[in-house]
């Protein structure tokens, strides 16, 4: 599953720099997460770093982009392939 940022986001700028996949970007109003780049930090960390640093807990799992741990790992491998 990819993560998403809700409209409760206060644009504090702490989530974007900790994303190892550069999936977080500034949208028109709030930060957003590109679901094709988000691996929930699988392959990088034990927990999603954006959720760890978010001061208001506005980064839940995106119900529209559900993926298994295996799918997230496959995405990680594809993204980090050189």
Residue 64 has pLDDT above 80, yes or no: yes
Whole-structure pTM value: 0.91
Report yes or no: 33 and 64 within 8 Å, Cβ to Cβ: no
User: By three-state DSSP, how is residue 8 classified?
Assistant: coil
Domains of the chain (ranges; CATH) run 16-80 (3.30.70.20)
Name which of 54, 1, 6 is nearest 32 in CA terms: 6
Per residue in 6-52, pLDDT tens?
Answer: 999 999 999 999 999 999 999 999 999 999 999 999 999 999 999 99
């Amino acid at each position: 599953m990819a993560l998403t940022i809700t409209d409760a986001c206060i644009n504090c700028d702490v989530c974007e720099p900790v994303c190892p996949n550069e999936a977080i970007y500034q949208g028109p109003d709030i930060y957003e997460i590109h679901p094709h780049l988000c691996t929930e930090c699988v392959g990088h960390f034990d927990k999603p770093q954006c959720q760890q640093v978010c001061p208001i807990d506005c980064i839940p799992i995106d119900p529209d982009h559900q993926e298994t741990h295996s799918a997230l790992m496959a995405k990680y491998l594809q993204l980090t392939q050189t």
